[in-house]
Amino acid sequence: MSGPVNRAVIPSSAHATATMKANRRRDTKPEVAIRSLLHRRGLRFRIDKPIRTDTGIVRPDVVFTTQRIAVFVDGCYWHACPEHGELPRANRDFWREKFRRNRARDKEQTAALEKAGWSVLRIWEHEEPQRAAERVRNLLATTQMGRE
């Protein structure tokens, strides 16, 4: 009688595994799109630059060192986006807890960076890259005005 049970479990785990692999990749498509838009605007930045904070090293996706601006492009799956975050069918409690921890870590990292004097911008992977790049540029403009 284990056959039907296995058939029910395997597809959703396989789906979860595939989704995990797709989401773990660095240089996700939206991230690359946003970076190239910024680059085309003549903006220069560092990628995955480690920043030391009170609570440890944080590696934002895009870093403007001089302006102290840290940008994260958060994947909808891992960061449990309210619009697209979905719980895998198998082991729901495990995943619910995992995503809760991921969100908590995002908040901690944002807080740690802000405490260290950084401005933090979090972009959802589902945001339109053009608009996301515009948000980065606006923040840069505001920060530069404040310093002049």
Q: Report d(CA 148, CA 121) in Å as an integer.
A: 21
Question: Helix 29-40 crosses helix 129-147 at what angle (to 10 degrees)?
Answer: 50
When asked if residue 84 is in the footprint of Zn ion (CB under 5 A), the reply is: yes
Q: Report d(CA 128, CA 136) in Å as an integer.
A: 13
Token digits of residue 125: 């992977």
Instruction: Read off the amino acid at residue 148.
Output: E
When asked if residue 76 is in the footprint of Zn ion (CB under 5 A), the reply is: yes
CB nearer to Zn ion: pick between 41 and 96:
96
Q: Report d(CA 20, CA 17) in Å as an integer.
A: 5
The stretch near Zn ion (CB under 5 A) out of 26-34, 39-47, 83-91, 129-137 is 83-91
The stretch near Zn ion (CB under 5 A) out of 66-74, 96-104, 119-127, 133-141 is 119-127
State the number of binding residues for Zn ion (CB under 5 A): 6
Minimum CB–partner distance for residue 83 and Zn ion (Å)? 4
Which stretches of the chain bind Zn ion, using CB under 5 A?
A: 76, 81, 83-84, 124, 126
